[in-house]
Structure 1
Amino acid sequence: MNKQQLAAKIWESANQMRSKIEANEYKDYILGFIFYKYLSDKLERFANSQDLSKEDIKSLSEEDQETVDFFKRNLGYFIAYEHLFSTWLELGGDFQVSNVRDALSAFNRLIHADHKRLFDGIFKTLETGLSKLGDTTAKQTKAISELIQLIKDIPMDGRQGYDVLGFIYEYLISMFAANAGKKAGEFYTPHEVSVLMSEIIANHVKGKDKIDIYDSTSGSGSLLLNIGKSIAKYMGNDANIKYFAQELKENTYNLTRMNLIMRGILPSNIVTRNGDTLEDDWPFFDDSDPINSYNPLYLDAVVSNPPYSQKWDPQHKGSDPRYARFGLAPKSKADYAFLLHDLYHLKPDGIMAIILPHGVLFRGGEDGAIRKNLIENDHLDTIIGLPANIFFGTGISTIILVLKQKRTKSDVLIVDASKGFVKEGKSNKLRACDIKKISDTVIGRLTVPGYSRVVSKQQVRDTDYNLNIPRYVDSSEPAESWDLYAAMFGGIPHSELDSLANYWQALPSLRATLFADNGTPYAAPKVDDLAQAIHTHAEVQQFTARFTSSFADFPAHLKQRLIDNIDTTQVPQQEAQIGEEIFNRLAPLPLIDKYQAYQLLAEQWQQIAVDLEIIQTEGFSATRVVDPNLVTKKKDGKDVEVQDGWKGRIMPFELVQATFLNSQLADLHQQENRLAEIGGAIDETFDSLGEEEKSSEAVNDSGDKFVPAVVTKEAKEFKAEQAKSAPFAADSYEVKIIQAADLLAQEKTLKATVKKQAEALHLLTKSTIEGLSDAQVHHLLERKWITPLQEALQRLPGQQMDALSNKLQALVEKYRITYADNALAIRQSERELAGMLGELEGNEFDLKGLSELKTLLMGNNHEQE
């Protein structure tokens, strides 16, 4: 399984296993065990690297002080053989919950003094929560046994740069967040929002050799890690990134530490603190040596997603240097307190990004005073309005504020990105194209109508420092208007055609081809089929040809970049570089939305990146590996994993069959089509039975299918009877049964043939993959990675023309039926209704009522005429 499949499998099982335990609690247990496995496996790998034999590892004991000290100096901790995760697995049925309790207790004793801050108490949440996994020791043991069996296959050998482990860890955190309700916001920022903030931060600090980054409300640590990952793309040595994290809640603080440690970050580059960000600022000194260790914390980048509108105590905070320059946030809402804390810790050339509720842009009182000071001192750089319902546990509108300690400009960039998202279940989610568009707009400081605007300080002053986004950027869709003349008399208003000016500019003669201009403000359609007229127009065909030409050598370019250099291509950088290549090719072409094209790349890149990861970590031979296809089936009321055929680790069976086994595949499809035809004929025969005939024994109890055994028996009897006497009538029950028996026999034979052919093709595909030449692998990768993207890109011009024809057709339909047409139709309906009223019967009063209604209807007609 690739990392996505493994992560999904673990989540599905874990979600079932947690039973009645809250998702917010259960995450601490499973993630804690994953972290313990990581430390345990890391120790075993280190032991192997020191040439310790299996027997030597089995003798690792807390009593051997010299060996304990050796491991602690190199790893920061020691785990005895009896407490290793692998030892728990070897115990099998002898494993007990006490093994875990003893192991966690021993770990706390065996931390190196220099790593005490990093590891001390890191398993406290897991240790104290074991009792919640069951009300008896036996139930706890069973629950933990299932859990460690679930996570045992997560690779932690570093062969894939911890990416699989890191991916699974964040995937589980995100899934638990999605199921944790309001508590989700305490520990997780959605990945897409993290990526957006990361791109903005990374672009600002990318020229530095050494970078310090800080999250003042770190949660799970995922936001901080994504920032580091984006920055690392621009640096030669990611060991020069130092991570500072602060978190109030102890269990969440432990998540931060685990997440940072498991990503392979050097312990010396991890500085964490469990404390109240607002009450106790990050200490300027080490508690053990306050005088000599004095060192104020100033950083290159600060990020945070603090709890929204949290209450706090501003009393006695007026002299706090974090707030003294700007003012104190109100007691009921600490949003600006968090912001000022982050800003205070920025270096002079630093940047910060913070997620806050939309209200901070326009609330008055203390908030308004702080906002004014931030603007007047030129700290506020950018405001990004996000879609509603994008965070777990809350549907409120949120924003990202980007601030800098020192700026050369005094304006503010305001971006309304609230309309760019995709709906996923009950939540909204930023797409790759949304993230790209926002980051491009922020980095380029662009003004885009209906999307973003650079606002001067004076303009902000003029609104009394109210930064409510709609005051500056109107992203609303224009309300539909109706032209009164066109509604009464018909015709297409030129003003409404003018709204499609981008099409008419790109295709200058198209408008005159489609619509007649009679010198009035209204046009008339000149063609019946708008879509056909558009697609066959010379300028449209030239437009499509230009697009095709621009991307003609794109597949060859991608092949050289991704396949010819498959072992050395830098996966993290490739998506952005290919995206820029697409943008460059689109630059001279009108009409095509470059972000729509980028989304096509992003969707295809997910598969490409997974495959490249596997090939680069496991070797090129992984392209020829075929794995058992494991599926879950019910057996004795339990879910059991069984093999159902095979699947390529990289190469999809369907692709290999379509490429190299096409004749065999065509034969199979032909037989399957014939089987479908026979099935249809059987259904037709069944449907021809009368209701009485369907009550015969040849039809099942549900009355919807034949019973094959009975049909065969009856058909045999009818054939014998027919041979002795005259033929049955063509539409008789006997003929239908004979036909059904013949068809059922054909279906049974053909089903066996199809099954045998499918199995043979499946095994042939397996052997074909295992025997692929390098050239064949390259050809398949090109068809899997590049061809779908190229085909999707080539569809863009046609989709754009379809969009135009749909808009124009809607305009034509809008004014096709005039008011006069509607009035005439109403009068006709009233006449018909009046005529029908005369045919109705009733008592004296009913008839009087009908007569009056008829008079009204006829009177209305008379008045209108």
Structure 2
Amino acid sequence: MNKQQLASKIWESANQMRSKIEANEYKDYILGLIFYKYLSDKLVGFASAEGFTDEDLRAVTEDDAEAVDHFRSNLGYFIAHKHLFSTWINQTGDFGVADVREALSAFSRLIHPNHKRLFDGIFKTLETGLSKLGETAAKQTTAISNLLQLIKDIPMYGKQGYDVLGFIYEYLIGMFAANAGKKAGEFYTPHEVSVLMSEVIAHHLKNRETIQIYDSTSGSGSLLLNIGQAIAKQMGDKDSIKYYAQELKENTYNLTRMNLIMRGILPGNIVTRNADTLEDDWPYFDEQDPVNSYNPLYLDAVVSNPPYSQKWDPQYKDADPRYARFGMAPKSKADYAFLLHDLYHLKPNGIMAIVLPHGVLFRGGEEGVIRKQLIENNHLDTIIGLPSNIFFGTGIPTVILLMRQKRERSDVLFVDASKDFARAGKNNKLRACDIKKITDVVIARFTVPGFSRLVPKTELQGEANDYNLNIPRYVDSSEQSESWDLYASMFGGIPLSELDAWADFWTAFPNLRTTLFTLDGTPYAKPKADELAAAVNQHPEVTKFNEDFKRAFDGFKSWLHSELIGKMLSLQVPRQEALICDQLFERLAKVGTVPLIDKYQAYQVLDDHWQPIAVDLEILQTEGFDATRVVDPNFVVRKKDGKDVEVQDGWKGRILPFDLVQLAHHKKELEALHKKEAELAEVVAQLEELLECFNEEDKAKDTFNETGDKFVAATVAKEAKELEADANVTAAFDPESYEAKIIQAAKELAKEKSLKAAIKKDAAALHLKTKATIETLSGKQVIALLESKWLTPLVDELHRLPGLVMSSLAAKLQALVEKYRITYADNARDIQQAEDALVDMLGALHGGEFDLKGITELKTLLAGT
């Protein structure tokens, strides 16, 4: 099971197990136990590396001060053998919730003094919440035991960045957030928003030897970690990044610490505080040595997604250096208080990103004063407008503000990304192509019509805007409403002004428009071709466009083979997609002088295919090339005695899918199986057709089920056998008689049964044969299959892009032709003819005195007299 499958399985089971416990609360139990497993497994791994046998470790108790201190000095904590996660799993009837309570209490007692700030109270939420897992100790034990079994298979270590633990932890946090309603915003920034902020910040900080990053409202720590991972991809050494985090709520603060610790970050690179960001600011100092440990905390990057428009107390904060320069945020909305806090802690060459509600761009009063100061002092770098309904728990539109302490330029980049998203359940979601497009525009500071614009400070200061930063003032991303040309509506023809909407195509294909439309010197054209799609696709310039695309991508598959398959065990998975993207964009740039293919659409194709490839690569780099020949049991959940039971249903390749292997190595058997399946489908269709031939009286007989929508096979067979026993009678049956149709049904049912049995037998034989084939594949065969799985679908879909572009143009042109094909005069004529016909029909009607008066009046109205 790969990490995505394992994460999904754990989530589904955990969501069922939580019963009536709120998702926001239940997450603290399962995530806390995963963290305990991590610490427990880490201690076992350290003990093994230090030469401790299982018996040696079993003998170490709290009384053995020297051994315990050895563990505490190196790990920061000690867990006795009886309290290890692995010990709990191996216990049977002796394990109980009391063991967990005792273990958590012992953990707190045995934290090394140097790691007190890192570990102290980290299990408090789990410890105090155990009682909520059941009304009695027995029920609590059952709930805990189920959770332990659920997470026991999570591997805690991996090579080459195969961060299974981190992935699962992040996945569960995201899924719990999606189910936590309004409380989700307290601890989670959607992954896609984190990635967007991370990419921009990582680019700004590249080439630095050491980096300090800070999240002032850290929640689960996921935003901070994503930024750290993006920076690590740029600099290579993840141990050169130091993480600072502050969080108000204790249970959420514990999530931050757990999340950071489990990602393998050095303890000395983790500095966290459980405090109110607005009330208890850094400077941070150790209470035991306040002078020498004083740290005013100025950092390379500051990020945050604070609670939106939260009330706060600005009283007595006039002298606070965070706010003194700019003014005080109103007590009803702390948005600018969080922003100024973050800006204050930024180094002169640092970068800051904060997510805030859209209102901070234009609200007046104290906020208007602060906004003016930020613009005048050139702190505001970029505004990114996000889609509404993108955060869990709130549907309000939000913005990302990128700020700098010192800038050489004074302009501000506005990006309206509010229209670019995909619908995902109840929420909107940024796609990979959306993130890439925004990131590219922000880094390059491009102006893209309808999407982004670089605005000079003088325009922001001007009387027309007066420091109002509402994005629609500067970027018009609204869709033009459909217009109707009056002349074309009355007399027909295609307005050239509407054809001009596809100017890029007419520039790329100079002769295409005159091939498709008759141009007579007037502002209106007429279609020449009845089938526009065929005329477009057959045009020589379009043919050349398709050939240019193929030529630009000549050798792309070979290049991918060399980069992915040739280096599969050594390439850096996190960086590889960016390298392929560069190659993709470079080749797209060669396709014609006018870019008709959206490079971000092509990037989305790449990303969709890259995700499963990356999972395979991580497995290969963790387990080696032989993982391609591994076949695992395929477990499914089935009902047994009213309960969900996990049972094995065949096998599945760890990397190579059975269907792919069958197409390559068992095509003959597969085709024979498909042929029988097609025959079965025909028989089923015959039976359905036959069933419709019986009347309701027939369907009341024993040869049909109670609802009359199915045959009773055994009864049909018995009755048909009896009818066929009398040859003379059978010969006399009318083909449309009940008896003849029952005999026919019996034959089809027998054929259906025979085919089903044969298909089941053949499918089982093919399944086992495929299993054996995978386990004995040669290296050359594996390489061929990996190419079929990874490269062929990606390259094939990219090669479909030119056709999709031209099909889209043809469809739009056809819609334009249809728009003006029937004129107003045509409609008026049809209406008149219909009215005249109705008048004639009304004249033939008879009725009473008042009926006839009504008809006469209607005829007068229709006749228009």
- Tell me how far 1:710 sits from its aligned partner: 1.4
Match of 1:173 in 2: 173
The whole-number CA distance in structure 2 between the counterparts of 1:83 and 1:419 is: 53
Asked if the contact 1:45–1:157 (Cα under 8 Å) also holds between the matched residues in 2, the reply is: no
Match of 1:711 in 2: 716
Correspondence 1:269 to 2:269: yes
For residues 725 and 701 of structure 1, do their structure 2 counterparts lie closer, same or farther at Cα, with a shift above 3 Å needed?
Answer: closer
SS at 2:302's partner residue?
A: strand
TM-score (norm: length of structure 1): 0.98
Deviations 1:26-84 (A, max 9, x none): 11111001000110111011111112111112222111111110000110000001111
Correspondence 1:13 to 2:18: no
Question: Matches of residues 764-779 of structure 1 in structure 2 within 5 Å?
Answer: 764-779=769-784
The whole-number CA distance in structure 2 between the counterparts of 1:236 and 1:492 is: 58
Asked if the contact 1:213–1:243 (Cα under 8 Å) also holds between the matched residues in 2, the reply is: yes
Match of 1:39 in 2: 39
Correspondence 1:688 to 2:693: yes
- Tell me how far 1:729 sits from its aligned partner: 1.8
Correspondence 1:578 to 2:584: no
Match of 2:555 in 1: 553
The whole-number CA distance in structure 1 between the counterparts of 2:409 and 2:841 is: 78
Deviations 1:508-550 (A, max 9, x none): 1000000000111000000000000001111001000100111
Structure 2, gaps ≥5 residues long: none
Asked if the contact 2:723–2:730 (Cα under 8 Å) also holds between the matched residues in 1, the reply is: no
Deviations 1:561-619 (A, max 9, x none): 00011111110000011011100001132300000000000000010000000000011
The whole-number CA distance in structure 1 between the counterparts of 2:731 and 2:170 is: 77
SS at 1:94's partner residue?
A: coil
The whole-number CA distance in structure 1 between the counterparts of 2:844 and 2:224 is: 80
Q: Tell me the amino acid that sits aligned with residue 641 of structure 2.
A: D
The match for 2:601 among 596, 600, 606 is 596
Correspondence 1:627 to 2:632: yes
SS at 1:42's partner residue?
A: helix
SS at 1:234's partner residue?
A: helix
- Tell me how far 1:748 sits from its aligned partner: 1.2
The whole-number CA distance in structure 1 between the counterparts of 2:467 and 2:156 is: 52
Asked if the contact 2:177–2:184 (Cα under 8 Å) also holds between the matched residues in 1, the reply is: yes
The whole-number CA distance in structure 2 between the counterparts of 1:275 and 1:171 is: 27
SS at 1:460's partner residue?
A: helix
Match of 1:796 in 2: 801
- Tell me how far 1:88 sits from its aligned partner: 1.2
Match of 1:185 in 2: 185
The whole-number CA distance in structure 2 between the counterparts of 1:286 and 1:347 is: 22
Structure 1, gaps ≥5 residues long: none
The match for 2:484 among 477, 482, 485 is 482
The whole-number CA distance in structure 2 between the counterparts of 1:743 and 1:825 is: 54
- Tell me how far 1:707 sits from its aligned partner: 1.2
SS at 1:20's partner residue?
A: coil
Deviations 1:160-213 (A, max 9, x none): 646110011011100110011111000000000000000000000011000000
The whole-number CA distance in structure 2 between the counterparts of 1:57 and 1:124 is: 26
For residues 725 and 444 of structure 1, do their structure 2 counterparts lie closer, same or farther at Cα, with a shift above 3 Å needed?
Answer: closer
Match of 1:618 in 2: 623
Which has the larger displacement, 256-265 or 125-134?
Answer: 125-134
Match of 2:523 in 1: 521
The whole-number CA distance in structure 2 between the counterparts of 1:695 and 1:29 is: 58
Q: Tell me the amino acid that sits aligned with residue 824 of structure 1.
A: R
Match of 1:389 in 2: 389
The whole-number CA distance in structure 2 between the counterparts of 1:164 and 1:726 is: 71
The whole-number CA distance in structure 2 between the counterparts of 1:372 and 1:277 is: 24
Match of 1:230 in 2: 230
SS at 1:699's partner residue?
A: coil
Identity level (%): 70
The whole-number CA distance in structure 2 between the counterparts of 1:554 and 1:662 is: 28
Match of 2:470 in 1: 468
- Tell me how far 1:678 sits from its aligned partner: 1.5
The whole-number CA distance in structure 1 between the counterparts of 2:739 and 2:285 is: 98
Q: Tell me the amino acid that sits aligned with residue 331 of structure 1.
A: K
Match of 1:507 in 2: 509
Which has the larger displacement, 669-678 or 261-270?
Answer: 669-678
Match of 2:241 in 1: 241
- Tell me how far 1:92 sits from its aligned partner: 1.9
Match of 1:337 in 2: 337
TM-score (norm: length of structure 2): 0.98
For residues 65 and 162 of structure 1, do their structure 2 counterparts lie closer, same or farther at Cα, with a shift above 3 Å needed?
Answer: farther
- Tell me how far 1:855 sits from its aligned partner: 1.6
Asked if the contact 2:322–2:341 (Cα under 8 Å) also holds between the matched residues in 1, the reply is: yes
The whole-number CA distance in structure 1 between the counterparts of 2:28 and 2:180 is: 12
The whole-number CA distance in structure 2 between the counterparts of 1:835 and 1:60 is: 107
Asked if the contact 1:162–1:263 (Cα under 8 Å) also holds between the matched residues in 2, the reply is: no
Asked if the contact 2:225–2:260 (Cα under 8 Å) also holds between the matched residues in 1, the reply is: yes
Match of 1:308 in 2: 308
SS at 2:636's partner residue?
A: strand
SS at 2:859's partner residue?
A: helix
Question: Matches of residues 746-825 of structure 1 in structure 2 within 5 Å?
Answer: 746-825=751-830
The whole-number CA distance in structure 1 between the counterparts of 2:432 and 2:257 is: 29
**What is the aligned residue count?**
860
- Tell me how far 1:406 sits from its aligned partner: 0.7
The whole-number CA distance in structure 2 between the counterparts of 1:118 and 1:596 is: 44
The whole-number CA distance in structure 1 between the counterparts of 2:844 and 2:793 is: 66
Q: Tell me the amino acid that sits aligned with residue 378 of structure 2.
A: D
The whole-number CA distance in structure 2 between the counterparts of 1:146 and 1:425 is: 29
Deviations 1:680-736 (A, max 9, x none): 222222222233322222122110111111111111122122346743222222221
Match of 1:642 in 2: 647
- RMSD between aligned alpha carbons? 1.1
Deviations 1:356-406 (A, max 9, x none): 000000011111111111111011000000000000000000000000111
The whole-number CA distance in structure 2 between the counterparts of 1:552 and 1:645 is: 41
SS at 1:273's partner residue?
A: strand
Asked if the contact 1:627–1:647 (Cα under 8 Å) also holds between the matched residues in 2, the reply is: yes
The whole-number CA distance in structure 2 between the counterparts of 1:769 and 1:841 is: 84
SS at 2:632's partner residue?
A: strand
- Tell me how far 1:837 sits from its aligned partner: 2.5
Match of 1:740 in 2: 745
